[in-house]
Structure 1
Amino acid sequence: MPAATPAPSSALPRLLLVLSATTGLVDAASVLGLGKVFTANMTGNVVFLGFAAAGTPGFKTGPALLALATFMVGAWGAGRLGRAHAQRPLRQWLTWAAVVEGALLWLAAALALHVDVAAQAPEFAVLGVIALTGLAMGLRNATIRQLKVPDLTTTVLTLTITGIAADQTGRSTPNFARRFGAVLSIFAGATVGALLLRFGGLACPLALAGALVLGATMVFVRHPASALPRT
């Protein structure tokens, strides 16, 4: 799969750190507001499916399967979008990806206005928010995968945390600041998302996530690094 030429500055990593924070926002909305389902972290959904298969109370197969399916559709779309922008400036590709992701998150926020979180009703609205955020995060994950920026997947931290510990040499640890920043960004996003959900409702973290995706990307595309062609 084609990858973008690495940017000769910190502009792209800064964008990815902001996007990492939006992962925390989306997962706060999904796990706390949509009934034990992840729409950004598919490892969690596979684990939840295992719990549901064992008959554990509070876990359902339907929402987790929907999140997995829509995530994969979003990732498929991102693959096609990336291939269509091969050899074009990086800013064109990332702008399209941000516009689609932001629109999906805002549509999810609009639908979330109708969700009673406590009752998990109406069901169509709950499932709709899961599907829309799953599509958005699948598109995001596949797009970032193509960029291949070390330690900044924006959605998964297992390898990042492993690197922080395993690469300790007694001297300066490679990419420590970037790795720690990724962990802190998702932590901060989850914290803010939980507070917004508690005091403002399910739509708030989703609307903020969409705004951050678009805003941070628009800042990045003004940087000269975004004019580099994809190779």
Structure 2
Amino acid sequence: MSAESAEAQAYDPEARGLRLVVVLLVLTVISGLIDAVSFLGLERVFTANMTGNVVVLGFAAAGAPGFSVLHTLTSLGAFVVGASAGGRVARRLGAASRRAWVRAALGAEAVLVGAASAVAFAAPGTTGTAYALITLTALAMGLRNATVRKLGVPDLTTTVVTMTLTGLAADSPLGGGTGMRSLRRAAAVVAMLAGALPGAWLVLHHGLGIPLLIAALLATALAVTASGRE
């Protein structure tokens, strides 16, 4: 960074902190953790990936074993409520300071996921706990998705990587493109895997509380360090 750009950043509060590209990649890791918890620990429901949830709802409605219509509908409903709240937060705070808005949304996610972790530790294995975890994490992911959508950073949706993989392949030299943003796209895919793999291991060997706690701590760290610049 040149002396001029460093000086400009010192006078620009929006630029202070982690760049949004880094923030969104870490949020993608969190999504992997969250979906490992929900899919493996809560009867094969997703609370971050709603595309998967719609498919899961079809499986459950058809009577496929191991799926729950009520769990899936709870997740979809809570996600929509969270996304609606995220839209309101974006309209209220986004016009004043992008940095403050992003940090507020991340703080809310940290609180919701932290509450889910506390519930998982306090009352593991109960029906009420399952619904509480689905509701809290889906609310958090809905709020986050509304925020990320408003930010509009290309190729970093944080909860799905289908279009990211499509762009990676279609815009590659093999697809006749230039490979622009290939590193960012590949990093998003790796970030999802980097959350899902340890998340699955923790769920299988240590229960739901620890991966949720890690997700909450990561979200908290982002809430106090995120900037408002890509």
Please report the TM-score for the alignment, with normalisation by the length of structure 2: 0.87
1:131 to 2:135 alignment: yes
Partner of 2:164 in structure 1?
Answer: 160
Give the CA deviation at 1:53: 1.7
In structure 2, the partner of 1:3 is none
Given the alignment, which residue of 71, 95, 106 partners 1:98?
A: 106
Partner secondary structure for residue 226 of structure 2: helix
What do the CA deviations read for 1:55-108 (whole angstroms, capped 9, x no partner)?
A: 111111000000000000000000000000132111210111011110000100
Cα distance in 2 for residues equivalent to 1:37 and 1:48: 7
Quick check: 1:11–1:220 contact (8 Å CA) kept in 2?
Answer: yes
**In structure 2, what is the equivalent of residue 52 of structure 1?**
60
Which residue of the partner structure matches residue 212 of structure 2?
A: 206
Contact 1:115–1:126, Cα closer than 8 Å, also in 2: no
Q: Are the equivalent residues in 2 in contact too, given 1:31–1:38 (CA < 8 A)? A: yes
Taking the aligned partners of 2:78 and 2:66, their CA distance within structure 1 comes to: 22
Return the alpha-carbon distance in structure 2 between the equivalents of residues 86 and 213 of structure 1: 19
5+ residue gaps, structure 1: 1-5
Partner in structure 2 of residue 73 of structure 1: 81
Contact 1:24 1:186 in 2 (8 A): yes
- After TM superposition, list the pairs within 5 Å mapping 1:176-215 onto structure 2: 176-215=182-221
Q: Is the helix fraction higher in 1 or 2?
A: 2
Two-structure CA RMSD over aligned residues (Å): 2.0
Structure 1 residue 216, shift from structure 2 partner: 2.3
Candidates 197, 220, 225, aligned match of 1:219: 225
- Per-residue CA deviation, residues 192-228 of structure 1 (Å, 9 max, x unaligned), is 111222333201111111111120232224xxxx389
Q: Structure 1 47/115 Cα, relative in aligned 2: closer, same or farther at 3 Å?
A: farther
Partner in structure 1 of residue 11 of structure 2: none
- Relative to structure 1, the CA distance from residue 86 to residue 114 in structure 2 (aligned partners, 3 Å threshold; closer, same or farther) is closer
Distance in structure 1 (CA, Å) of the matches to 2:55 and 2:122? 28
Is this contact kept in 2: 1:23–1:40, CA < 8 A? yes
In 2, Cα distance between equivalents of 1:49 and 1:195: 25
Deviation for aligned residue 1:115: 4.9
Determine the C-alpha separation between the residues in 2 that align with 1:11 and 1:227: 6
Contact 1:15–1:217 (Cα < 8 Å) also in 2: no
Q: Is the 8 A contact 1:16 1:152 kept in 2?
A: yes
Unaligned runs of 5+ in 2: 1-13
CA deviation after TM superposition for structure 1 residue 172, in Å: 4.4
Tell me by how many angstroms 1:30 deviates.
0.5
SS at match of 1:113: helix
Deviation at 1:169, TM superposition (A): 2.5
Tell me the TM-score normalised to structure 1 length: 0.87
Q: Paired residue for 2:49, among 29, 38, 41?
A: 41
* Cα distance in 2 for residues equivalent to 1:70 and 1:10: 29
Aligned residue pairs, count = 214
In 2, are the aligned partners of 1:113 and 1:203 still within 8 Å (CA)?
yes
Percent pairwise identity = 45
**Are 1:17 and 1:154, in contact at CA under 8 Å, matched by a contact in 2?**
yes
